[in-house]
Amino acid sequence: MHFWQLTEVEIEALKLSLQVSLWSVTISLPAGIFAAWILARRNFPGKNLLDVIIHLPLVIPPVVTGYILLILLGRNGIIGHLLYKYTGIILTFNWKGAVFAAAVMAFPLLVRSVRLSLEGVDQGLEAAARTLGAGPLRVFFTVTLPLTIPGIITGMILAFARSLGEFGATITFVSNIQGETQTIPLALYTFTQVPDGEIGAMRLCIISIIIAMTALLCSELISRRFSARLKG
């Protein structure tokens, strides 16, 4: 077999990783923008605590995050029990749970990027729009959001790359099931545990690096382009 000829297992892992990462960014984007706006523009009791909770997945072991998700959202978990009882949705041991785990791990990066961009927006422009009769929502969607686009794009791509490389929380929360939850990191780990799996592991390692580097390069180029347009 040629080195770059992927096996069925590797193709499944690649497709699942892309699917999980894209859905992870999609479902976390609205909440990420809202959380970033709250942290950047509002002062309220418990703000520092909220900030710590949002960024907690960055500093605790991913396995701990996965275990907490398992306790809360497992079939018999505190929230998972109610979710299954009233909606029939099960998040453990399927790709939907992998999406949720990846979203939780990537969420802090998304929020941080958007928040930094929001803090850089000239609030005088927002005030000028309000004096011209624009309501809060119109100001947000016509002034604030367009000026925040570079940070949003950067956050999305960083979240995508983080989701693509997620391992600890995923394997703890949804296990390592081929074709269902086995993303590239989990498949790579599996290859390292079996005889003659070095070639498959190397292929997935190279693919992961290429995708991550491409995502980061695109993030930089797009951010620069939007920043140049805004300055112009």
pLDDT of residue 232: 59
pTM of structure: 0.90
Which domain covers residue 198, as residue numbers? 8-231
pLDDT level of residue 101 (50, 70, 90 thresholds): very high
Q: Read off the pLDDT of each residue in 193-205 and give the average, rounded to a whole number.
A: 88
- Considering the domain boundaries, does residue 12 fall inside one? yes
CB atoms within 10 A of CB 181: 24
- Considering the domain boundaries, does residue 65 fall inside one? yes
Condensed to tens digits (0 to 9), the pLDDT of residues 163-198 reads 999 999 999 999 999 989 999 999 999 999 888 888
- Considering the domain boundaries, does residue 63 fall inside one? yes
Is 54:112 a contact under the CB 8 Å cutoff?
no
Longest Cα–Cα distance in the chain: 70
CB atoms within 10 A of CB 221: 10
CATH code of residue 25: 1.10.3720.10
Mean residue pLDDT across the chain: 90
Please count the structural domains in the chain: 1
- Considering the domain boundaries, does residue 1 fall inside one? no
**Separation of alpha carbons 95 and 82, rounded Å:** 20
- Considering the domain boundaries, does residue 45 fall inside one? yes
Is the pLDDT at 3 greater than 80? The verdict is no
- Considering the domain boundaries, does residue 2 fall inside one? no
CB atoms within 10 A of CB 4: 8
Q: Read off the pLDDT of each residue in 218-230 and give the average, rounded to a whole number.
A: 75
CB atoms within 10 A of CB 87: 8
Q: In a 10 Å sphere around its CB, with 0-12 CB exposed, 13-18 middle and 19+ buried, how is residue 54 labelled?
A: buried
Q: Read off the pLDDT of each residue in 27-41 and give the average, rounded to a whole number.
A: 94
- Considering the domain boundaries, does residue 3 fall inside one? no
